[in-house]
Chain A
């Protein structure tokens, strides 16, 4: 029990803080995403039950949903998942400008997706309050849209932070997490697209 022990303890402590914390954060983030996915699963399950049990599923006057424009939107979003992967790769190779450019491209694609969604919402002749169908449609696309928006904001943050000198000294957790989140948003959309547009 002397000062030697304490300084050793301190050192141990510091390495613990810097190293494990990255791993912990990523682990925690994955746990969180798994939990978050259950919200979507719950909505999906609800959608399936409503669709199969509601007597008058589509509101009066509504024939179905237009598929072509959302399909293009889908393609853009899926593609952006690859782009952000390139961004991550660039960062790993310490190619900062490559990273930033790919990141900007991702953000642009995400924004295009949101824009496309807004256009679609505007053209629809049913609303949030048009029975279970209207509610479900806007709930699913809206809740997913919020996630896309969050993803873009996260990308904006890591973009800005990439200009801070020494930002990556303690690891790339922020970038990896943002990227993972983006893939998550992407996968959710694919399921959503199948449920809402393909299965009519």
Chain B
């Protein structure tokens, strides 16, 4: 009898350990499912995501593992018709499985809140005319080598981020201001500093960037997967959006809020470069004469209009291709 009980406890402990290690391992894999981390915010989001994957894997494997065990070992034999034990409930168990999710929820919500604060996504607070000083602190550009240690994804990491959440460095770097105009279906970027316009977004790295998002017609969305950042753009509103690119390279900006027929074509390149290169580029672009950029929506539309036999339905006509200093 005693040995049986011991064995039972042993199996339980073993499976708990197996479950935990598997979940931690899966959580670590989560980083590789995501695009490169090109903004300070990306890293914060990835840590949170990895944490959620770890916890999620633990819950999923725990529940389905128990189910699988039952399915395999608690089967009725062929032709057997007797009933199982008439257990109707167990108060302790029910209290436990109500309390644990509640605690988990507060843990997840608290952690998400901290990450959110650090990201300092400057949500359009003015939209509802209700100002709340929430989420105003900035994410900061950490030195890249930090990445290696973070990726270890050991359990301490999750707990660390609890206490580490308020180590937000005040970012005294100048803020780069750029205007973003979205319309059906093109992006136009305006750099007030040199009064330059472009259809390719250039950003200095390791600088806080502030975009002023505006739309000419319908809802659009500013989304760069490598930055993990997204914000809808609402007509008649100017939405300020701040973040810090940290990794040089070429990324893609897409319209993330469905905007009609040529929605899928509304993409632009994003070039993150060192501040020196960035200013060089600005200066060079300022010397260019404005010229019409190529625009996929406009050219596809021109094709459709010239078709002798219509293959689709009527559509809103795209705006003229934007005329900019730097057509990309």
Decide if B289 is an interface residue (CB 8 Å cutoff): no
Cα distance, A52 to B127, chains bound together (Å)? 11
Q: How many residues of A contact B (CB 8 A)?
A: 2
- Interfacial chain B residues near A52, Cβ < 8 Å: 129
Decide if B316 is an interface residue (CB 8 Å cutoff): no
Q: How large is the interface on B (under 10, 10 to 19, 20 to 34, 35 or more residues)?
A: under 10
Cα distance, A53 to B128, chains bound together (Å)? 7
Cα distance, A53 to B129, chains bound together (Å)? 7
Cα distance, A52 to B130, chains bound together (Å)? 10
Name which residue of chain A comes closest to B126, CB basis.
A53
Residues 9-59 of A at the B interface (beta carbon under 8 Å): 52-53
- Interfacial chain B residues near A53, Cβ < 8 Å: 127-129
Grouping DSSP codes into helix (H, G, I), strand (E, B) and loop, the A interface class, with mixed when no group exceeds half, is helix
Cα distance, A136 to B32, chains bound together (Å)? 51
Residues 4-29 of B at the A interface (beta carbon under 8 Å): none
CB-CB contacts of B120-133 with A at 8 A, as 1s and 0s?
Answer: 00000001110000
Cα distance, A53 to B126, chains bound together (Å)? 10
Name which residue of chain B comes closest to A52, CB basis.
B129
Shortest distance between the CB of B130 and any CB in chain A (Å)? 9
CB-CB contacts of B100-136 with A at 8 A, as 1s and 0s?
Answer: 0000000000000000000000000001110000000
Residues 98-121 of A at the B interface (beta carbon under 8 Å): none
Cα distance, A53 to B237, chains bound together (Å)? 12
Shortest distance between the CB of A32 and any CB in chain B (Å)? 33
Name which residue of chain B comes closest to A49, CB basis.
B128
Name which residue of chain B comes closest to A53, CB basis.
B129
Shortest distance between the CB of A49 and any CB in chain B (Å)? 8
Shortest distance between the CB of B36 and any CB in chain A (Å)? 39
Shortest distance between the CB of B326 and any CB in chain A (Å)? 35
- Interfacial chain A residues near B127, Cβ < 8 Å: 53
- Interfacial chain A residues near B129, Cβ < 8 Å: 52-53
Cα distance, A52 to B128, chains bound together (Å)? 9
CB-CB contacts of A113-141 with B at 8 A, as 1s and 0s?
Answer: 00000000000000000000000000000
Shortest distance between the CB of A16 and any CB in chain B (Å)? 34
Shortest distance between the CB of A53 and any CB in chain B (Å)? 5
Residues 118-172 of B at the A interface (beta carbon under 8 Å): 127-129
Name which residue of chain A comes closest to B129, CB basis.
A53
Using CB atoms and an 8 Å cutoff, list the residues of chain B in contact with chain A: 127-129
A-B contacts, 4 listed (Cβ < 8 Å): A52-B129, A53-B127, A53-B128, A53-B129
Which 3 A-B pairs have CB atoms at the shortest separation, nearest pair first?
A53-B129, A53-B128, A52-B129
